[in-house]
Structure formats: structure tokens, C-alpha cells
Amino acid sequence: MKFRDGMWLVAEGMQVEYAEEVYETNPTENGLSLLCPSRKIFSRGDTLNRSTLKIDIEAAFDGVISVETTHWAGAVHRGPHFELYPNGRPKVEAKISKSDKGTTLSSGSLSATIHPDEHNFDIRFHSTDGSKQLTSLLSRSVGLAYNPAPSNPLQTGDMRDFKHYIFTQTTLGVGESVHGLGERFGAFNKVGQSVQLWNADGGTSSDQAYKNVSFWLSSKGYGIFIDTPGKVDLEVGSERTNRVQTSIEGQRLKWYIIYGPTPKEVLQRYSILTGKPGKVPSWSFGLWLSTSFTTNYDEATVNSFLEGMKERDTQVDVFHYDCFWMKAFTWSDFVFDAERFPDPKSQITRLKSSGLANKVCVWINPYIAQHGAAFETAAKNGYLLKRKNGDIWQWDLWQAGMALVDFTNPEAVKWYVECLNGLFDQGVDAIKTDFGERIPSLDVEWFDKSLDPKKMHNYYAFIYNKVVYEALQQRYGDDQAVLFARSACAGTQRFPLQWGGDCESTAEAMGESVRGGLSLGLSGFAFWSVDIGGFEGYPPPWIYKRWVAFGLLCSHSRLHGSGSYRVPWTIDNDDKSEEGCSRTLSKWTALKTRLMPYLFAQAAKAIDQGIPLSLRATCLEFPEDPTAWYLDRQFMVGDSILAAPIFDESGEVEFYLPKGKWTCFFTNKTRDGPGWFKEKHGFGSLPLYVREKTVLVLGKSDIRGVVYDYATDVEVCLYHIEEGAGADLRDNAGKTLGSLKVDAQGELKGTEILKGSWQTSKDGRKIDDSYSETIQWL
């Protein structure tokens, strides 16, 4: 949403009024309230026939300040509202001081200073100790706008034909970059982009996003959380090149500025505000295998898939039944297709008892098709969203006569949970919560009539996923609940995990997916997955194998497609060579299995800090390296391993290593950063480098399945260690076992927590020399 036509003109059809000065500054319980007229006031007559904007600046908690701009305070503030401070609000300590620099509000490490000069509008956000200037609200940076522009002020007595906007513009420094705003598949640095936060089912090759998160992270050591689930328009250096403009349709706009100074500290504070990522069980880190979407499958097909994977030495930890586990035209009625799955409970029991799969997941969405068994019950009892005239809201997009569950109705929630419990009774352990983006915002009325339908469009993703996640928790325990969700908004990180949606089977789409995962990680989400091989299309073998390597280094890993299977032997005519799809998948699945002692301990740290496990942007670990803020073709797996997927059929790849000594996981050869490097890899490897000062615990090499004893028969690998280096260990239920630490003499302490025939490897791990033949340094 642009309000100006260049620097000098107002955009066509717009009337724009700016806060021109701070006329009054009044203290409040936790901050300051500023009265800001839309012209400079030199006489009493100047106070007439002019709008004012009230700007309330308040201390939220240490390092966080809220800024709320209001035009007409009498406007109804309709919900829904984000569930802030879900784990409790920290103590607020607001401090107001005055000096020749102005009036300053301090909230711990973060302060806001209002310039003292009369007829000036200047609000600066900075570290309380004065060491860092973060951003500012300067001249013509806070305002309101009408569209169309009223020709007479009397016209605003009837607002039905006008749209009213509030906007703010925070300054961008030279070289400053902006990241996050949800799972966005375009350029990693958002400067220069127009971004609209409005959930949409647009695939991964457009500017639309399934997961719009109203939070962005700056390379200058702060973040901004916009406190509305409604549509938000951002011009990130795209209306004024030196400002980020945030605008909403309405009478009030509230956002929080969150200080770090490191990006990890920003995200940790953001997680206090909107919620920490939920815990996920160890079994969820294993390989998930799907039936794919429109493929023709039944019980025999499922068995053949899993038996084929076992024959090819790949353990499937979770098997997923996609949409057609239900009959066509009936989704979601929660009823297995009796013709194809005559006894689903017995089949699921057999799969688990045979070890072919350890857990089972099924697909659902929040829509109820007219021809399914559930529709009549839901319609009769008022569980479905209605139009304003009382009709049930329906359309034929996706499913014929499709309606939408109204989760604002407590009775609808109870009914939906009963349906889910019926699945759990049959042995279902996890739920893929698909869709939730195409939520109508016009001509609808929710059961809770106090809610704004436009705000419900994005927020529906939160309540939909919350209902299903909490149903899983109630059945299986707080730390055993797992979703595979597509839609999200701020706060949905509490209900893991999310996956990247509908990508094509191309190298370009794999690159899009990497950018999407990186951006979502910088929006407070710890866990993320992707459709290995791509969803749309038929991946050639080289794409499939490169995507397998990338996908098994995501926090969670799933083989899934649209109209074709993703079991490896269907991709390359069952090539049984070492470079074939089956062996490639087996190798990468085994590698992730070995990494589980590291991954599960790192997952606990990620949850605590509100940061991504993988994909983790390099800038989170190396914020002082300016190059790290532009790296969108590589990622960190936890805090100690760097991975660079390969996007070229030749196997050539270029990647960046930040400052320090890095060891190739596959060869133990070392490189010194910072610098760019080129390599060429076979399908069993990619640039996977271990950071110096790392103690890396690996599971036994012949273990199959990710749930095992993470302290028994392990290999403890030391990478250029020094005093203080260490590793935490947890058991497969998440219980802390203890820590391994390197002392001043370079000896490893804490080994009493290890069991069995564990061993220590210095200068890297024990390697397979075959990799030296398939990795070339260019």
C-alpha cells in the first residue's frame, strides 16, 4: 500500500495527514502518551479543524517497547487478538527521564527518546546505554490516510464509502537488511519489496505466502512485531527507500520494537511475547513417507511401499496417508475409504508391530464437504461458518459444497476433537493439518459475533492448528503432539511442526524452499520441513537425490508428491548402484539417524531460545559478519553444523564459510573462513562443515530408526576444541542426561553419562575413505 507518488506527490485518490509535531507529552502507568496534531501549532487557531494522532509508547518488558498510534479512539477494537505472553508476562519496569536530548522512556536495555524541540516530530529508539541507534520515527513518518480522498470534511461523517488507514515509517540505515515476515519464497533480504501479510494458497513460486507472520528482524539488532492478525501492508524500502512503512486499514496500529542486540536475543524476546515453539518427540525427526496426493493407493500399496523401503535399508519412522484415505467428495469426514482400507485399525497395528513404520499420520483440513458423513451433523448443530443471511457459507472450490468449521463455537471444537479422537482410537499418532488459508472475509458472520472477519482470515490458522495440537496433547501427552501444518500466523510456532507447501520438482523450487525455510525460522519457528523431491511434477533422479540430501538436513523430513510416488525405486527404475536413488536415500536417512544425539539436544536449545533448529540462517550464528545476512543458499543445522544444498546437475556448489576453522564432515579436511569456496560432490555428500570448538556426539552407525539410546555406544567427535567446548545430551524422551565439557587440559569431562562401548575421535570423526573419491575441491 503506497500513499505517495514519489517524494513530492500524494498517490492518486489518497488524502494523507501526518503527525507534524509532538504537542503534548504525558506520562502514563508504563510509558508516555504523545498528542501529535497534523500541522504545526503556532497559535490557538491552528488547533481547529485538524486531525490528531495519539501515540502511546509503553515499556512492555526488558528490551521491548510498544508503540500504538490511534486516530479515532472511539472505533470498536474488534478481535481476534493475538494471545500474547502465553507463559506469563515478565515484570515491567518503566523509567522516564528528561535531559537536553529530550524525554526518554527506558524499558531495561531499550529506550525511546522524544526530541525536546518545539514543533518537531522526532522519536529515536536506541539501546539504553547509548551504544546503538536502532531506528527512528521522523518527519512525515506517522500518519493517517483516506481513500478516496474526501472533498469536504463533512463527508467523513459517513465512513461507509471511505477506507481509513494508519501507517508508520521506521527508518532504515545504510546497509541495513530486513528478514522474516513468515515463510516467504522470494529474496531473503526484504528491502525493496512490497509485502502483504494475507495468508494465501499460492505455492512457492509467487509473492503469496501460506504463513504470514507479522514480525521482521533487522540486521541492526532489533525486530518489529506488528500486533494485529488482520491484513498488513509493508513497503520495505519500496515507497521510501530509507524507511519500512507499515500500514493497516483501521483506526489504530500497534507494534513492538524488540532489542537484541544479537538476533538470537531478539527472537528469544519475541518468543516471550508470542510463545515459544512447542516440543516435538524424538520419533518425529525420522523419515516420513507419504502416499502422495492424487496417486492411486490402497492397503496393498502402502504395504509394498514400506516393505520396499525396508528391503533397501531405509527405515521409515512415520507413514503418512494423504487425502485419499477418505473417499472422493467426502473430505474431511474422518472416515477411511472402506473399499481400499477395510480395517484401518488392524492395518495400522500390523504396520507398527512389524516395524515397517513406527508411527502413522493422516491428512485432514478444516473444510467439510457436502457429500461427506460429517456435513449433516455439523450443519444441523451450527458448527459451520455462516453467511450474514444465515446460510452456511459454501463454495465448490476444492470440495463440492465445501463448508468451513467455525472454531469460534466451543461446541464445534468439542465435536471436531471427538472426530479426531476417533482417528486416534484407530492408531493415528500425528495429523497433517493442511489448508486454512482461503478463509472468507466478506459476507460471513462467525459464531462469536464480536470478531472481525478480516482479522479472522489470518488468525484462523492459529485456532485451527491449536485445536488439533491440543487434542493430540490431551491424548498422547504434552510433548508427544506433532502436526504437519501448512498455514500459520504469529504465535503458531507453539504448535509444531510446519512444512513448506506446494513446490515444483525443480532446482529453482528447491532454492525457493530454502529461502522459505530460512525466513520462517527468522519469524520464531523452530521446526520446518519440505516435500522432498518437490510436490508438483516428476523429479528427475538428480533433483530427487539432491533434494533428499537437503530434506534430511531439515529439522523434519518427508517424502511427498502430488501425482507421483516418492519412493526411490520409482524415480530411477530401481537403480541399485551407490549413486542410485535408493542408496542415496538410505545413506542420508542413516546420517540423520546418527545425528540424533546432537539434533535432539539442539532442539531443546532452539525451543528455549525461540530460534530455528534447521533451517537456521547463518546470520543467527554470525551476526557480525555482513555477508551472513545475505546467505540464502545455505543454512546451519543447530549451532555447529553448516550445510549447503546443491542446485546444479553437475554437482558443483559454491558456499561461504564465516570466520573460523571448519572441518568437512565427510573427509575431516579443514578450511579456514571467512571466504567463498567451490566443491563438486557425488550424491552421497554435500558441503557439510563442522564449526571449530565443537563436541559432536554421534549415534552408532548401524542403528535404524531415530528412537534409540543417545548415550550408548556413541562416538564423541572433537573438532578443534578448547576449554569450555561441550555438548549437552538428552535421552529420547527429552530428559536431560548431562553435559560433556572440555577442561583446561583439553580433557573431556562428564563422560560418566555415556554407556556401552563409546569412543572419542579427535580431529573429527572416523571417516569412510570412499568420500575422498566423490568430493572435489575446485
Please give the backbone phi and psi of residue 632, each rounded to the nearest 5 degrees, phi first: -125, 20
Q: Do 512 and 209 form a contact (C-beta atoms < 8 A)?
A: no
Q: Which residues contact 116 (CB under 8 A, 6 or more apart)?
A: 100, 101, 102, 103
| Structural element, H or E, at residue 56 | strand 52-61
Q: Do 243 and 172 form a contact (C-beta atoms < 8 A)?
A: yes
Q: Do 455 and 228 form a contact (C-beta atoms < 8 A)?
A: yes
∠ CA 476-283-475, nearest 5°, is: 5
C-alpha to C-alpha distance for 69 and 101, rounded to whole angstroms: 23
SS (H, E, C) 417-449: HHHHHHHHHCCCCEEEECCCCCCCCCCEECCCC
Minimal CA–CA distance to 124: which of 44, 57, 208, 185?
A: 57
Q: Do 592 and 599 form a contact (C-beta atoms < 8 A)?
A: yes
Please give the backbone phi and psi of residue 275, each rounded to the nearest 5 degrees, phi first: 120, 140
Q: Do 632 and 731 form a contact (C-beta atoms < 8 A)?
A: no
Q: Which residues contact 360 (CB under 8 A, 6 or more apart)?
A: 318, 319, 320, 321, 348, 351, 352, 427, 428, 429, 430
What is the grid cell recorded at 99?
535531559
What is the grid cell recorded at 279?
516440543
Count of alpha carbons within 13 Å of 410, Cβ hemisphere only? 0
C-alpha to C-alpha distance for 520 and 524, rounded to whole angstroms: 7
- Is 625 tagged catalytic? no
- Tell me, what DSSP letter sits at residue 457? H
- 650 phi-psi bin (left φ>0, alpha ψ -120 to 50, beta other): alpha
Q: Out of 452, 502, 512, 531, which one is annotated catalytic?
A: 502
Q: Out of 58, 437, 531, 715, which one is annotated catalytic?
A: 437
Q: Which residues contact 256 (CB under 8 A, 6 or more apart)?
A: 60, 64, 65, 66, 67, 224, 225, 227, 273
Q: Is 386 helix (H, G, I), strand (E, B) or coil?
A: strand
**For residue 339, what are the CA distances in angstroms to 305, 336, 419?**
19, 9, 21
- Is 434 tagged catalytic? yes
Please state, as a whole number, how many other Cβ atoms lie within 10 Å of the Cβ of residue 236: 22
- Is 709 tagged catalytic? no
- Grid cell 510446519 in the structure block, residue: 498
Please state, as a whole number, how many other Cβ atoms lie within 10 Å of the Cβ of residue 333: 20
> Amino acid letter at 329?
F
Q: Out of 68, 434, 621, 679, which one is annotated catalytic?
A: 434
Residue spans of alpha helices (H) in 72-222:
none
C-alpha to C-alpha distance for 564 and 646, rounded to whole angstroms: 23
SS (H, E, C) 201-264: CCCCCCCCCCEEEEEEEECCCEEEEECCCCCEEEEECCCCCCEEEEEEECCEEEEEEEECCCHH
Q: Do 300 and 578 form a contact (C-beta atoms < 8 A)?
A: no
What is the grid cell recorded at 627?
555477508
Catalytic center residues: 434, 437, 502
